Amino acid sequence: MIRQRIGGKAVNTVNATMSEADRLTLSGILEGELTSYDLKFEGGVSAPQPTQLNGKKFSVGKKYLSGQTRSSSVYIPHVKTSKTFNDVAVAVIGQFDEDFEGASKCEYANLIFDKQEV
């Protein structure tokens, strides 16, 4: 995946399975700041469209003894309808990084909003 930014704004994301050579070639013709990501996981099973989306937005982070807090927010558009935020917190605490720059794992997860849409 390649994210393209022009003038500080994300304008396009190219999401395709391609070789490293293809990605370099494509990067050579795109304008602006480019960020390239590797596919790390692919899986799951196709499911029918639910009547309501069970979206979760939450922050994960770590508090240091100095009082400093490092965190980032995460939005998941839909989790299984049988799952609650407690299930999400158990899954991410100690597994997700504390923020986008650090390599330390998060110590907490706080729900920002629990959204169900039709």
Q: Rounded distance, CA 88 to CA 90, Å?
A: 5
Q: Rounded distance, CA 82 to CA 104, Å?
A: 30
The answer to whether 2 and 23 are in contact (CB under 8 A) is yes
Q: Rounded distance, CA 75 to CA 116, Å?
A: 13
The answer to whether 32 and 5 are in contact (CB under 8 A) is yes
Query: pLDDT tens digit string along 47-84?
Result: 777 777 888 999 999 999 998 888 888 888 888 888 88
Q: Rounded distance, CA 88 to CA 80, Å?
A: 10
Sorted by where each begins, the domain ranges of the chain are 2-36, 53-117
111 pLDDT tier (thresholds 50, 70, 90): very high
Query: pLDDT tens digit string along 71-81?
Result: 888 888 888 88
Q: DSSP label at 25? A: H
